[in-house]
Amino acid sequence: MNNNGEEKRPSPEALLKLAKAEEDKAAKGRLKIFLGYAAGVGKTYTMLAVAQQLRREGADVVAAYVESHGRTETDALLRGLEAIPKATIRYQGVLLPELDLDAVLARRPQIALVDELAHTNAPGMRHEKRWQDVQELLNADIDVYTTVNIQHFESLNDIVAQITGVIVRETVPDLLLDQADEIRLVDISPDELLQRLHEGKVYIPSQAAQAMEKFFQPGNLIALRELSLRHAAMRVDDQMRAYMETRAIPGPWPAAERLLVCVSGSPFSERLMRITRRLANEMKAPWYAVYIESPGDDKFARENRERIWRDLRLAENMGAEVATITASSVADALVDYAVRHNVTKIVVGKPAKSRWREFLRPPLVDQIIRRSGTIDVYVVSISAAGRREGFAPAARKKIPWPGYMSAVVLVGGASLICAALIPFFSPTNMAMIYLLAVVLAGIRLGREPAILAAFLGVLAFDFFFVPPYFTFAVADKEYLLTFFALFTVGAVISTLVAKGRQRVETMQTREVQTASLYYLSRDLAAAADTYTIMQAVHKNIRESLNAAIMFFFPDGEQLTLMDDGAGLAPDIKEQAVAGWAFRNQQPAGRGTSTLSSAAFLYLPLKTSINVLGVLGIRLAKETDYTSPQPRLLLDAFASQTAMALERVQFAHQAEQARILLTRENLERALLNSISHDLRSPLATITGILSSLQDEGGGLNDTARRELLATAGEEAARLNRFVGNLLDMTRLEAGVIKLKEEPCDVQDLIGCALAHLEQRLGERPVSINLPPGLPLVLMDMVLMNQVLINLLDNAVKFSPPGSAIDIIVRIDRKSLFIETGDRGPGVPDHDLTRIFDKFYQVPVPEGAAGTGLGLSICKGIVEAHGGTIRAENRAGGGLRVICRLPLKITPKENGQHE
Amino acid sequence: MNNETNSANPPRILVVDDEAAIRRFLQTVLSSGDFCVQQAENGHLALAAAAAFRPDLILLDLGLPDMDGVEVIKRLREWSKVPIIVLSVREREDDKVKALDAGADDYLTKPFGIGELLARIRVALRRAVQQAPAPIYKIDDLEVDLVHRRIVAGGREVQLTPTEYDLLRLLVTHAGKVLTHRQILRQIWGAGYVEQPHVLRVNISNLRHKIEKDSSRPRYILTEAGVGYRLKADF
């Protein structure tokens, strides 16, 4: 019963997820996608029709970018809609109309219509792709209506290519389709579409006419239509599922699946990823794309890195979680990662053909299957069908001409040596000289030149030293074996040598990176403030990447350059790029797809909670921006820096909180003290006054006088306390300005004693003044206060009638004024605390002070640049010593005029 | 209560303070002390009352709501020599000095005892009716004969330098009244010396050594910290 009830309640996770998604949506604009399966189905038309309807209902709709391609029905629908003027970009002599993102952002409409989501922007625009523009609009809380065809979605790209044979290069991340709040399928039958095509109602760019013809085949259209319908249906299914989940409608829930695909940088990786993404989508499962870097594998040659980097970014675009792992065994690392991330299915490609190496080492698939345990392994065929035009290695390898030339020279040299050695060696041994040349080539020049050297070596050997000489003919068949051995040994050795060298290079790069990361983290760990952090990052980035950097930190609403002494002064444009990176929490500038014309690369300093600033980097070499190694390192640097900054911020906040607490405590003490010290004398005075008022007649004269004397004392005490409070407040507020004038120390003492005449009564006061004391610069009023407070304490804390001593000394730099009493003194551990505000030494009876007197003394003496301290006297009692810097008036007069 | 006061024509005192409680307290105390008291609660009313009421003495609080107390003193001094005693709180030494320099005769720090107030009032009234200073000043063991320039302290004659004598004579002729540093410096040394207080300090110190029994606890020349000096008066 109870159990049933539990089950029907929506799971907290589901609700949380939904709440989070809705929260995210609330802050962002809504995205509505008009999805079609081919040009001409009427996406733009439908979008405009909807827009017109909304406009009539009073919505604030603008056409941010709509292309009618001269179709009159579309044009008619554009009428009445506010259109944002397009930006025109001149590119290679052609004026290209583009979406003016800033104009739309400035206009801030409720809904913006943006046609052709998959469009690639002209170079020089802020983003490479229009969908990035759309995302920025959404982030700015603007609803966007947009059109796109199904084949533009990243994960369907290859299916579409398979169906139609046309490769679509303008792609949109699937994430956008997932994020869309609404998808409106615009559908007409293929027959009707073809009819419209024939009537010339479908706009086809002239340069694509041929491709389009291939595209608009009934078979293709049917397949594409099915694809788009299926996607729309899946989307509806998603919504249904979400609805059921939140309302706890029981249903067949899919098990929590997680998929993993290994990215290798091979031409098939991309296809594997698309397949995984589709599988993951169907299973509603998250998926991971992992690149395992293993220095022992020649597949990870340097030129592959770019492709791997691109693949990982693509995977990220398709919604995968991406990781790079370094391990010696790919299979082990992959399975290990899968286990740690609760992956249920690993997707691997079926090797297209066996290679000779597989005899030595079992294929990766076999290795994974052997280790995978409970994890399912999906083996996907990556046959020639996957190899398409678009998959040619992104960067054509440069041919190392100098290497080949050197190989030729090496072989030539070997031939000359052999020629010189003819009298001494048999021809067969000449092969050894060539072998030497090949090995040398392998070590110095790399693999390909070495193979060339082996080949040339065989030819030269045959030509010059195998009879018949100077022909390629071979008389003795035995030499064929020599040739074969020479070539094979040469090829194998050079391959091994080259591989070894590569491995060393990889290791070295890794080591340098690990080391620089280590040094940075060490420096950052030691950094206690933002400035030190910046210095540490400066130093490490300069050392490991030879890059110039600058820091931007938010200052209110603005992002401002932090002056770190590097002297870089970015112009307004650069600052704007940094600002973009900060607001959008994404990398921008050089080497990214956003505002790539900037001079710097801008990485947001992101922590799990927020963005703390932006790091601007100018790398030494242009190629470094696109190659993955520096970028990976920079990303690592940026995240380490962000963490360090966050740590410093937290530390700062903690310190602030501590200070606040201390202040609160002090304020509480102050309030306590005030309420006690103000109220108790008031209570006495009020009590005495009321008793005199009510029963004044009933009291005898003596009693009355006593009461009045008490009231008078209490009033004096109150007055002292208020005076102290005021002094303290002014000292702390720093409004006290010293009025230093030449003072006669004897006069000062006399003045203070005169003030305390009544309190001192008949007490013996011994004054010890050195003769010929000069006038000393001080604020007489304040120092008088100090002396009064000290003497008052001496009176208060010592037995009546005991002596009070005042001793004045000078040395070359200081004036010392000591007051001493014969009271109980102060426990040694409290000797410094007695100068703290509101600190009161516990006293046996009624001598309670305010706890302010000594701290006021301290404040005044320190304002004079002096010090004050207390010590217990040898014969009992306390001595307080003020030391003032001995400032003597320059125009010191003689004793007599 | 003293010989200046006669019951037929009691001295008139104008009390200027914005605090009603203080005015009421002073009114009560002073009226019972045989003074005729008039009140004013701000500067303008005080100036008007001074003209209409013609007081023999003004008790003036410096913190008035409508105008600065020092300004009131300056305006009064344009046409009147009426003694003015300033009432002020402890922290405003500068204001006291300004008030004294502007022409106030004395000051009292709030809160004050009524005995102190009455003593100051007596001194001020006595000084006001005195046309010329008495030729002989005598208090306790100190005797200053201005006619013969003879000073006897503790029973023996004291030799002073001319400056010291001038200083002492100035104090004697203003006995009981606070003299600010500037006032003394201007009178004895001239206007060029008003910013050189060390001259005064040294001479006061020397003077004390000669006439005081214990110059660390002076009994005659009293220091008003941050304001000036006052010679003890025996009124």
A891 touches chain B (CB under 8 A): yes
- Residue B153 tokens, joined: 């302290």
Q: E-strand spans in A337-375?
A: 345-350
A896 touches chain B (CB under 8 A): yes
Q: What is the amino acid identity at position A863?
A: A
Comparing CB atoms, the residue among A726, A747, A767 nearest residue B205 is A747
Work out the pLDDT band at B185, boundaries 50, 70, 90: very high
Whether residue A384 is predicted with pLDDT greater than 50 in this model: the reply is: no
**Run of H or E including A138:** helix A130-139
Comparing CB atoms, the residue among A765, A891, A897 nearest residue B161 is A897
Residue B49 CA to residue B44 CA, distance in Å, equals 9
Q: What is the pLDDT of residue B3?
A: 42
Q: What is the pLDDT of residue A884?
A: 92
Task: Say yes or no for a CB contact (<8 Å) between A775 and B201.
Answer: yes
Q: What is the pLDDT of residue A849?
A: 62
State which residue of chain B sits closest to A895, comparing Cα positions. Answer: B202
Task: Say yes or no for a CB contact (<8 Å) between B202 and A719.
Answer: no
- Which of A514, A532, A513 has the alpha carbon at shortest distance from A523? A532
How much is the average pLDDT of B211-230? 89
Comparing CB atoms, the residue among A723, A784, A894 nearest residue B225 is A784
Whether residue A393 is predicted with pLDDT greater than 90 in this model: the reply is: no
What's the gap between Cα A50 and its chain centre? Answer: 41
* CA distances, A124 to each of A571, A593, A699 (Å): 17, 11, 101
Which residues of chain A neighbour B218 with C-beta distances below 8 Å? 750, 754
How much is the average pLDDT of B193-218? 89
Task: Say yes or no for a CB contact (<8 Å) between B163 and A749.
Answer: no
- The whole-angstrom distance between A747's CA and the closest CA on chain B is 7
- Residue B138 tokens, joined: 């005598």
- Residue A798 tokens, joined: 């010592």
> Token match 């005892």: residue?
B113
Residue A386 CA to residue A32 CA, distance in Å, equals 33
Strands A741-743 and A776-778: antiparallel
The model's pLDDT over B26-62, given as tens digits with 9 standing for 90+, comes to 888 888 878 899 999 888 999 999 988 889 999 998 8
> Token match 């003015």: residue?
B84
How much is the average pLDDT of A695-709? 79
How much is the average pLDDT of A144-150? 90
Task: Say yes or no for a CB contact (<8 Å) between B202 and A767.
Answer: no
How much is the average pLDDT of A69-86? 82
How much is the average pLDDT of A702-729? 83
Q: E-strand spans in A450-557?
A: 548-555
Q: Residue A844 gets which letter from DSSP?
A: S
Which range of A431-435, A797-801, B219-223 scores highest in mean pLDDT? It is B219-223
A81 touches chain B (CB under 8 A): no
Lowest-confidence pick of A59-63, A109-113, A734-738: A734-738
Q: Which residues are paired to B144 by β-bridges?
A: B137, B151
Q: What is the pLDDT of residue A438?
A: 83
- The whole-angstrom distance between B50's CA and the closest CA on chain A is 32
Question: Looking at this predicted complex, what is its ipTM?
Answer: 0.84
Give the per-residue SS3 of A596-660. CCCCCEEEEEECCCCEEEEEEEECCCHHHHCCHHHHHHHHHHHHHHHHHHHHHHHHHHHHHHHHH
Q: CB–CB of A815/A745 below 8 Å?
A: yes
Straight-line distance from the first to the last Cα atom of chain B, in angstroms, rounded to the nearest whole number: 12
Q: What is the pLDDT of residue A398?
A: 55
The model's pLDDT over A288-316, given as tens digits with 9 standing for 90+, comes to 888 877 655 444 455 566 677 778 878 87
Task: Say yes or no for a CB contact (<8 Å) between A754 and B222.
Answer: yes
* A85 three-class SS: coil
- Residue B48 tokens, joined: 């008007």
- The whole-angstrom distance between B217's CA and the closest CA on chain A is 5
Residue A617 CA to residue A589 CA, distance in Å, equals 10
**Run of H or E including A569:** none
Work out the pLDDT band at A4, boundaries 50, 70, 90: very low
A713 touches chain B (CB under 8 A): no
Q: What is the pLDDT of residue A394?
A: 37
Cα–Cα–Cα angle for A146, A151, A152, nearest 5°? 50
Task: Say yes or no for a CB contact (<8 Å) between B202 and A744.
Answer: yes
How much is the average pLDDT of A192-220? 73
Q: What is the pLDDT of residue A209?
A: 63
- Residue B59 tokens, joined: 């008790």
A729 touches chain B (CB under 8 A): no
Instruction: Report the percent of chain A where pLDDT is more than 70.
Output: 85
Q: What is the pLDDT of residue A453?
A: 86
- Which is higher by pLDDT, A383 or A803? A803
Residue A826 CA to residue A820 CA, distance in Å, equals 12
Chain B residue set in contact with A, beta carbons under 8 Å: 90-91, 93, 111, 161, 163, 196-199, 201-206, 215-218, 222-223, 225-226
Whether residue A332 is predicted with pLDDT greater than 90 in this model: the reply is: no
Q: CB–CB of B215/B204 below 8 Å?
A: no
Comparing CB atoms, the residue among B93, B196, B225 nearest residue A751 is B225
Q: What is the pLDDT of residue A309?
A: 76
Task: Say yes or no for a CB contact (<8 Å) between B197 and A746.
Answer: no
State which residue of chain B sits closest to A778, comparing Cα positions. Answer: B226
Q: What is the pLDDT of residue A816?
A: 94
The model's pLDDT over A343-363, given as tens digits with 9 standing for 90+, comes to 888 888 776 555 555 555 567
Instruction: Report the percent of chain A where pLDDT is more than 90.
Output: 6
Whether residue A278 is predicted with pLDDT greater than 50 in this model: the reply is: yes
Task: Say yes or no for a CB contact (<8 Å) between A897 and B203.
Answer: yes
- Which is higher by pLDDT, A215 or A454? A454
Backbone dihedral angles phi then psi of residue B201, each to the nearest 5 degrees: -60, -45
Strands B36-40 and B12-16: parallel
Which residues of chain A neighbour B223 with C-beta distances below 8 Å? 747, 750-751, 754
Q: What is the pLDDT of residue B59?
A: 92
How much is the average pLDDT of A856-879? 89
Work out the pLDDT band at B2, boundaries 50, 70, 90: very low
Q: Would you call the peptide bond into A468 cis, given omega within 30 degrees of 0 as the criterion? A: yes
Q: Who contacts A550 (Cβ-Cβ below 8 Å, separation ≥6)?
A: A561, A562, A564, A566, A568, A570, A600, A615, A616
Q: What is the pLDDT of residue A749?
A: 93
Work out the pLDDT band at A738, boundaries 50, 70, 90: confident
Work out the pLDDT band at A386, boundaries 50, 70, 90: very low
Q: Which residues are paired to A855 by β-bridges?
A: none
Residue B169 CA to residue B39 CA, distance in Å, equals 37
Task: Say yes or no for a CB contact (<8 Å) between B204 and A747.
Answer: yes
Residue A181 CA to residue A118 CA, distance in Å, equals 18
Whether residue A55 is predicted with pLDDT greater than 70 in this model: the reply is: yes
The model's pLDDT over B117-143, given as tens digits with 9 standing for 90+, comes to 888 898 888 888 876 667 788 888 888
- Which of A325, A260, A270, A273 has the alpha carbon at shortest distance from A295? A325
Mutate to test the interface with A, among B223, B229, B231 (most CBs of A within 10 A): B223
Task: Say yes or no for a CB contact (<8 Å) between B199 and A893.
Answer: yes
- The whole-angstrom distance between A753's CA and the closest CA on chain B is 7
Task: Say yes or no for a CB contact (<8 Å) between A897 and B226.
Answer: no
**Run of H or E including A114:** strand A111-114
Q: What is the pLDDT of residue A3?
A: 44
- Residue A497 tokens, joined: 């040598």
- Residue A618 tokens, joined: 């100018």
* CA distances, A189 to each of A37, A44, A147, A213, A229 (Å): 10, 17, 18, 18, 12
The model's pLDDT over A544-597, given as tens digits with 9 standing for 90+, comes to 777 888 888 888 777 888 766 666 777 888 888 888 888 888 888 888 877 878
Residue B173 CA to residue B165 CA, distance in Å, equals 12
Residue A388 CA to residue A587 CA, distance in Å, equals 31
Which residues of chain A neighbour B225 with C-beta distances below 8 Å? 748, 751, 780-781, 784
Whether residue A817 is predicted with pLDDT greater than 90 in this model: the reply is: yes
Task: Say yes or no for a CB contact (<8 Å) between B216 and A746.
Answer: yes
Which residues of chain B neighbour A682 with C-beta distances below 8 Å? none
Task: Say yes or no for a CB contact (<8 Å) between A781 and B197.
Answer: no
A167 touches chain B (CB under 8 A): no
Q: Which A residues 761-800 touch B at CB under 8 Å?
A: 765, 767, 769, 775, 780-781, 784
- The whole-angstrom distance between A568's CA and the closest CA on chain B is 53
Residue A605 CA to residue A614 CA, distance in Å, equals 5
Burial group, residue A738, by CB count within 10 angstroms (0-12, 13-18, 19+): middle
DSSP string, A758-783: HHHTT--EEEE--TTPPPEEE-HHHH
Lowest-confidence pick of A56-65, A119-128, B98-107, B219-228: A119-128
Q: What is the dihedral of CA A831, A832, A838, A839, to 10 degrees?
A: -30
Q: Which residues are paired to A603 by β-bridges?
A: A615
Mutate to test the interface with A, among B202, B210, B224, B230 (most CBs of A within 10 A): B202
Comparing CB atoms, the residue among B198, B201, B223 nearest residue A751 is B223
Which residues of chain B neighbour A780 with C-beta distances below 8 Å? 225-226
Work out the pLDDT band at A818, boundaries 50, 70, 90: very high
Whether residue A389 is predicted with pLDDT greater than 50 in this model: the reply is: no
- The whole-angstrom distance between A892's CA and the closest CA on chain B is 7
Comparing CB atoms, the residue among A719, A749, A896 nearest residue B161 is A896
Q: CB–CB of A306/A591 below 8 Å?
A: no
Q: What is the pLDDT of residue A377?
A: 87
Q: Which conformational region is residue B118 in: left (phi greater than 0), alpha (psi within -120 to 50 degrees), or beta?
A: alpha
Q: What is the pLDDT of residue B15?
A: 92
Task: Say yes or no for a CB contact (<8 Å) between B198 and A715.
Answer: no
- Number of neighbours of residue B210 by Cβ within 10 angstroms: 15
Task: Say yes or no for a CB contact (<8 Å) between B217 and A750.
Answer: yes
